[in-house]
Amino acid sequence: MSDTDVLQLRGGAKVDGNIDIKGSKNALPKIMVAAMLTEERCEIENVSWLSDTRTMTELIEASGGTVGRSTAGLSIEVSTLGVPDTTAMREFSGRSRIPVLTCGPALHRTGEAYISSPGGCTIGPRPVDFHLDVLRRLGAETVDVPGGIQLSATRLTGAKIELPFPSVGATEQFLLSACLADGDSELCNAAVEPEILDLITVLQKMGSLINVETNRAITVTGVKRLRGFTHRVIPDRLEAASWASLALATDGEITLDGVRQQDLATYLNTYRRAGGDFEASPDGTTIRFWRSQSMLRPLAVETSVHPGFMTDWQSPFVTALTQADGISVIHETVYEDRTGYVDALKALGANIGLFTECLGGTTCRFARGNHPHSIVVVGPTKLQGTELHVPDLRAGFSYLIAAAAANGVSTITGIDLLDRGYENLRGKMATVGIDFE
C-alpha cells in the first residue's frame, strides 16, 4: 500500500467552499467507445482524467487508434481497428468494466470480440450475462475460452430484445452494437439514465437513428456507417450528490458549479425532505447546498433506476442520515451487496442495522435472497474518528463524509480507490476546508 493511500482526517469542521463538477465518470468512457465505431476524428470536451479514462485511452491505442489530449479534452481517431488482443483485454478488464462495451465496435469492424471476466468495484458479483444475451440476439457467435469468451460475427442483424432488469451497461452494449446492425432493433426494459441519453446524443450526432419510446423501450434503425463527432460530456451527477451529502452531514455549505439540476431532481427532493436546502442558478448549472435546520429529519429512501433515487447516491446519503433525529429506512434495489460500508459507519459509532428483507418500499428482486440490502439507521449519533479501509468507490466517499462529520482523527486506507471516481479529490477536500494530511 503506497503512503499516498492513507489519509489522516480530523473531523468536526463545517465544510464551506465551491467545487467545479466536470464530465460524468460514467458517461465519458462509453462515449470513447462510440468513437471506435467510426474511422473519423472525434472530439470530446469536459473530460475528467480518471482511471477509466486512462484505461480506455490505453485500450484504444492498443487497438490501433490514437488519443490526443487537448485543453478542451480528448481527440480520438480510430482509422483502423485491430482484432482484440485477449491478453491486453484481460488486463484492461481487470481494471475497469468498460472494455466489455467494446464488443460492438470490434464485431462491426473486425468480426471478432473478446470478453474477459468483469473487473471494477467490489459491489456484488458484476455479471455480464445481459450483455452476452444482447450480443447473441444481434447475431454474435460466442465460444468459451480460458479466462473469457470469444465472440465472432460477419454481420450483426437487428433484433427485438427484452432486458430482465434495466441494466445501464447492457443498454449501452445494445446501443453500441445495434446502431450499425442490419435493420431495426428494439430493446425493451432499457435503462434511460442521463448517461445513457448522453451516449444516444453522441450516436445521433454520428448519424445513428435511435428513439427512446414512451414505454422506455429504445428502438434503433441500423445505418451503414457513422461519422466523427464533437461532444461535451454531461456533468457527473454522482460526484455532485457526494459533495452535497458532505455539506448535509457536516452542517456545512457547498456550492457546485458545472452541474445540471434536472439530472439531480430526485436527489434534490430527498435532500430537502431530510432537512437540507439548495438554491439553483437560473440555468441550473450552479447549485448551493446547505442544511436548512439544525437537526436533520429521518427518511424512508428506496433506490431505483432513473428517474428514481440513484444507487450511487445511497451510501453518501445514508452517512448523512446517521445525523438525523430518528429512524431512517433505506432499501437498495439495484445492487444486492452495496451496503458493505455500513460496518465502517458502525465502527465510527453509528447506530445502524442491515436486513435481508425489503424494508420501507416495494418488494424487489432480492427479496428472500438472503441479501443484506435494507438499512435501518437510528440517529442522531455522535461519530468518533477511527481506522477505516475503503472497500469500493462510492462507499469510499461516504467514509470521507463520516470522518468529516466525526469528532477526532480518522485514518483512512485504500483512499487511492477514490481516484477512480473523483478527480483531484485532495484538492477539492482542501477547497472545502476538510482538515486532512
Binding site for ligand EPZ (CB under 6 A): 25-26, 97, 121, 124, 126-131, 165, 167-170, 191, 193, 238, 311-312, 334-335, 393-394, 421
CB-nearest residue to ligand EPZ: 169
> Considering 42, 121, 179, 364, which one is annotated as catalytic?
121
What DSSP character marks residue 247? H
Cell of 401: 463524509
Query: What is the closest distance, in whole angstroms, from the C-beta atom of residue 129 to ligand EPZ in the complex?
Result: 5
Query: What is the closest distance, in whole angstroms, from the C-beta atom of residue 125 to ligand EPZ in the complex?
Result: 6
Q: Is 364 one of the catalytic residues?
A: no
Query: What is the closest distance, in whole angstroms, from the C-beta atom of residue 204 to ligand EPZ in the complex?
Result: 20
Distance CA 240, CA 288 (A): 11
Q: Which among 323, 2, 33 has a CA at the least distance from the CA of 177?
A: 33
Q: Which among 119, 137, 147 has a CA at the least distance from the CA of 59?
A: 119
Q: In what order do the strands lie in the sheet with 141-145?
A: 112-116, 148-152, 141-145
Query: What is the closest distance, in whole angstroms, from the C-beta atom of residue 55 to ligand EPZ in the complex?
Result: 11
Distance CA 317, CA 310 (A): 11
Query: What is the closest distance, in whole angstroms, from the C-beta atom of residue 105 to ligand EPZ in the complex?
Result: 17
User: What's the Rg (C-alpha) of the chain?
Assistant: 22
Q: What b/e string do you get for 7-43 counting C-beta neighbours within 10 Å, with b at 16 or more?
A: bebbbeeebebebebbbbbbbbbbbbbbbbbbbbbbb
Residue whose CB is less far from ligand EPZ, 170 or 321: 170
Cell of 307: 428517474
Distance CA 367, CA 359 (A): 10
Sign of CA dihedral 213, 215, 221, 226: positive
Enzyme catalytic residues: 121
